[in-house]
Structure 1
């Protein structure tokens, strides 16, 4: 299982802050699933999910509290956080 955290405006838009999801299946040519496969699974939850977490959208991803790219491998027990842009004043 993976722990997915949705922070700030993503949490508000999608109506949840945390969910547990099964480890996605890896791409046919890969040994381990990646953040990209996780995103594909999350997109199947509906249009709101697909739009909010569209690839190239205004958010960043962290795996186990370290910023990551979409090709970052994920493993059972990992925490994946999606972070929208943050401004301060």
Structure 2
């Protein structure tokens, strides 16, 4: 599975993208984030406040309860505004 990080999430995590094999017990985005936070301080900082994290699973907006089984790509980014 490819993980993508954008804007300050990328800066705090210290990585723009990576390919990972998730542990079998991870079922949803929340579980994925919990696992990522165990992988280092950068991830802990990037995901410290889940209220300001958005995600897309296979390019479809999701939330913390979105399942990750079978997903090929998950992206994390801050809230986006436009004008």
Normalization by structure 1: what TM-score?
Answer: 0.76
Q: Which residue pairs with 2:23 in the alignment?
A: 24
Kindly indicate which of the two structures has a greater share of residues assigned to helix: 2
Deviation of the 1:75 alpha carbon:
2.3
Structure 2 unaligned blocks of 5 or more: none
For 2:30 and 2:59, the matched residues in 1 are separated by 17
For 2:42 and 2:49, the matched residues in 1 are separated by 13
Pair 1:17–1:4, CA change in 2 (3 A): same
Deviation of the 1:43 alpha carbon:
0.5
For 2:70 and 2:82, the matched residues in 1 are separated by 34
Instruction: Kindly report the root-mean-square deviation, in angstroms, between the aligned alpha carbons of the 2 structures.
Output: 2.1
Q: Which residue pairs with 1:72 in the alignment?
A: 66
Pair 1:46–1:57, CA change in 2 (3 A): farther
User: Which contiguous aligned blocks of 4+ residues in structure 1 show a shift greater than 2 angstroms?
Assistant: 23-27, 54-57, 85-89
Structure 1 unaligned blocks of 5 or more: 28-32
